[in-house]
Amino acid sequence: MKIVFTGGGTAGHVTPNLALIESFQRDGIECFYIGSRAGIEAKLVERHNLDFYGIASGKLRRYFDWQNFIDPVKILFGFFQALWILLWRRPEVLFSKGGFVAVPVVIAAWSLRIPVVIHESDLTPGLANRLSAPFCRMICLNFEETAVHFSQRSTRVTGTPLRAGLVQADGERGRQWLNEFKVFGKTQPILLAVGGSLGAQTVNRLVRADLARLTERFYVVHVVGKGGVDPQLLDIPHYLQFEYLDEPYGDVVAASDVVISRAGANALFEFLWFKKPQLLIPLPRAASRGDQLQNAALFEQKGYAQVRHEGDLGPGELARAVDSVWMVRFDMARRLGSARLPDSLGLIRQAIEAAAAAN
């Protein structure tokens, strides 16, 4: 069997693919990847010993922008590029994680009668997966509530596949790794602040505004995104900055006691796996389609997290919000511990293999 993967734009559209690729490659199954030339996926995929093909891509916007007149041409060109790659490589099945680059690849695969399986992470589907859905055999979901948006398609609740580095993570190893950069004691708790794969300037600003308060109680590990490291803060005690964490990420999450994060669905599923109490600061509707607001509200409703909106977080408010999570961390941990997680990797592998076999 030969499998082609697509998806890109953010790490959330790539890392679940990498978990599946790792699993299939261990079984000797050939995989390759089609993504955007300029997207984050090219950098993330390069470590996995598989062929990567970059195609032209355009963003699918719901708002007016002059790029809207150019991007349809890019998408059409990307479709023909994907068509040529698929004709040449002849995969048995395509797995799409979404993102704007995936749409022309999905349609090209469908036109060649290559079965397509897609994965939707969010509570409500993104535009790329809405456009891709009519061309697929199966839609894998993070949340049961999402199925109503795909009532005419075959769906299965699978959760998100996690890479081996997450499943096999070790908190003690993570603390030891952090100690290589700055001495972290064995008893003081660790606060992990993650702005997202491309960084989040607002989260970075909020963390740094309350850094003095936060470092009184916690060792603060701050993932700031590309170019986000502040040289003036390198010598602050109990504070570490990283642009991005790849291989050590699982160990660092496992070592953490509380997490500050945006509310992307893949990140939430990872924190659910690790049973970590969370303070969520979802992207506001003005900066997104509102998916993070819905994801965060669901996690708060289930008692897995507390939510604060960035517009409500003035000076000192973030530290108070973290204190609030800290006070109820044991109750949160109990609720997180009661969550039943599916064998995401196994279920999605079954869906991919079944689609290939039925073709």
User: b vs e for 96-110, b when ≥16 Cβ sit within 10 Å of the residue's Cβ?
Assistant: bbbbbbbbbbbbbbb
Q: Tell me the pLDDT band of 287, cut-offs 50, 70 and 90.
A: low
Residue 322 tokens, joined:
């973290």
Mean pLDDT, residues 69-90: 87
**Residue 196 belongs to some domain of the structure:** yes
pLDDT per residue over 44-58, tens digit each?
888 788 999 999 876
Q: Is the pLDDT of residue 269 over 80?
A: yes
Whether residue 127 is found in the same domain as residue 141 = yes
Beta strands in 159-314, from DSSP E residues, in sequence order: 190-194, 219-223, 239-242, 258-261, 278-280, 305-307
Distance (Å, rounded) from C-alpha 45 to C-alpha 51? 9
Rounded to an integer, the average pLDDT of 162-181 is 92
Task: Name the pLDDT band for 284 (thresholds 50, 70, 90).
Answer: confident
pLDDT at 183: 80
- What mean pLDDT do residues 65-82 have? 76
On whether both 14 and 39 belong to a single domain, the answer is yes
Domain holding 23, by residue range, is 2-159+342-358
Task: Provide the pLDDT for residue 315.
Answer: 86
Q: What is the pLDDT, as a whole number, of residue 196?
A: 66
Same domain for 129 and 11, yes or no, is: yes
164 within a domain of the structure (yes/no):
no
**CA pseudo-torsion sign 304, 308, 310, 315:** negative
Dihedral class, residue 113 (left if φ above 0, else alpha if ψ from -120 to 50, else beta) = left
- 313-338 residue pLDDT tens: 988 999 999 999 999 999 999 999 99
Q: Is the pLDDT of residue 174 over 70?
A: yes
Whether 6 is covered by a domain: the verdict is yes
Residues 22 and 153 in one domain: yes
Mean pLDDT of all residues in the chain?
Answer: 90
Lowest pLDDT segment from 127-131, 279-283, 287-291: 287-291
Residue 305 lies in a domain: yes
User: Which carries the bigger pLDDT value, residue 190 or residue 123?
Assistant: 190
289 pLDDT more than 90: no
The reply to whether 26 falls in a domain is yes
More confident: 76 or 220: 220
Residue range 69-82: average pLDDT?
82
Which residues, in sequence order, are CB contacts of 269 under 8 Å at separation 6+? 121, 142, 159, 160, 162, 344
* pTM for the model: 0.86
Handedness of CA 312, 318, 319, 320 (dihedral sign): positive
69-78, 182-191, 227-236, 320-329, range with the lowest pLDDT:
69-78
pLDDT at position 28: 95
Distance from C-alpha of 237 to C-alpha of 193, rounded to nearest angstrom: 16
Task: Compute the average pLDDT of residues 290-295.
Answer: 89
CA–CA separation, 91 vs 138, rounded Å?
17
pLDDT at 63: 52
Whether residue 62 sits in one domain with residue 149: yes
Q: Count Cα atoms within 13 angstroms, Cβ side, for 41.
A: 33
Residue 45: the pLDDT is 85
Residue type, 92: E
| Residue 149: how many other CB atoms lie within 10 Å | 18
pLDDT at 61: 52
- Shared domain check, 296 and 179: yes
Q: What is the pLDDT of residue 291?
A: 86
Same domain, 179 and 327: yes
Do 236 and 296 lie in one domain? The reply is yes
293 and 227, same structural domain? yes
Q: In whole angstroms, give the CA distance from residue 300 to residue 321.
A: 14
Determine, yes or no, domain membership for 81: yes
Residue pLDDT, tens place only, 245-258: 888 999 999 999 99
Q: Which residue reads 């994680």 in tokens?
A: 97
- 32 and 95 fall within a common domain: yes
CB 242 within 8 A of CB 134: no
- What's the structural domain count of the chain? 2
pLDDT at 279 over 80: yes
* Percentage with pLDDT > 90 across the chain: 68
Per residue in 192-223, pLDDT tens?
A: 999 765 547 889 999 999 999 999 999 999 99
Pairing of β 190-194 and β 138-141: unpaired
Give dist(CA 352, CA 8) in Å, integer: 19
What confidence score (pLDDT) does residue 245 get? 86
Q: Is 316 left (phi over 0), alpha (psi -120 to 50) or beta?
A: left
Residue 119 sits in the same domain as residue 188: no
In a domain, 165, yes or no: no
Q: How many beta carbons lie within 10 A of that of residue 18, not counting itself?
A: 23
What pLDDT, on the 0 to 100 scale, is given for residue 139?
A: 97
* C-alpha span between 76 and 59 (Å, rounded): 12
Q: What is the CATH number of the domain that holds 184?
A: 3.40.50.2000
Two tokens, residue 241: 């900055």
- 130, 268: one domain: no
- CA–CA separation, 94 and 24 (whole Å): 13
Task: Give the three-state DSSP class for 187.
Answer: coil
Neighbours of 304 (CB within 10 A): 22
Residue 97 CA neighbour count, 13 Å, CB half: 28
For 8-40, how does the pLDDT look when each residue is reduced to its tens digit (9 = 90+)? 877 778 889 999 999 999 999 999 999 988 777
Position 319 scores a pLDDT of 96
